[in-house]
Amino acid sequence: MASGNRPLSPHLQVYRPQLTSFLSIMHRITGVGLWAGALLMTYWISSATYGPEAFARAQWFLGSWFGRLVLLGLTAALYYHLANGVRHLAWDIGWGYEMNNLNASGLAVVIFTGVMTVLTFLAGYWVAGAL
């Protein structure tokens, strides 16, 4: 590992903020965040094996204002990571590397995330009979 006072190459802060670099780091951040979603999925499914009271407690928590807030963040993170993940798969087969395509697909990912998150929550409230 590097030691002493060796000079460092210019780091992130010397670059102008761009959509592409912002979306890139967001893929990692949402990915780490989605671990909380995986844990919540495990909690939700396994709670049912401990009987009706345990499952009702899980449902109550997920439906509470705090639970809904967490689910809102996870839903947005999920759609973002999903759409941007498909973008990554396209790059893996060599598609979409041109600058105008990168910006267009990036914008599409952001719009998809916003629209799908709103639609998902509207559907959830509709199922709950709140609409």
Partner 1 sequence: MEFRSTLSKVRDRGLSTEGGSGHWWAERMTAIALVPLILWFVVSAISMVDADHATFVKWAGADGNPVLLILLIIAVYHHGQLALQVIIEDYIHHEVAHFTALIAVKLGAFFLAVFTIFSVAKLTLEG
**Alpha-carbon distance 103 to 122, whole Å?**
29
Sketch the per residue contact string, 54 through 83, with partner 1: x for CB under 8 A, - otherwise. Answer: -xx--x---x-----------x--x---x-
Mask for 35-54, x = binds partner 1 (CB under 8 A): x--xx-xx--xx-xx-xx--
Please give the Cα distance from 31 to 37 (Å, whole number). 10
- Residues 6 or more apart from 83 whose CB is under 8 A from it? 108, 109, 112, 113
- Which residue lies nearer to partner 1 by CB, 73 or 85? 85
Does residue 128 bind partner 1 (CB under 8 A)? yes
Q: Is 51 left (phi over 0), alpha (psi -120 to 50) or beta?
A: left
Write down the number of H helices and E strands in the chain.
4, 0
Going residue by residue from 3 to 32, which x/- string records binding to partner 1, judged by CB under 8 A? -------------------------x--xx
Binders of partner 1: how many residues, by CB under 8 A?
Answer: 35
Question: Nearest approach, Cβ of 11 to partner 1 (angstroms)?
Answer: 14
Task: Report the b/e string of 71-87 with b at 16+ CB within 10 A.
Answer: beebbbbbbbbbbbeeb
Binding residues for partner 1, rule: CB under 8 A, are 1, 28, 31-32, 34-35, 38-39, 41-42, 45-46, 48-49, 51-52, 55-56, 59, 63, 75, 78, 82, 85-86, 88-89, 92, 94, 120, 123-124, 127-129
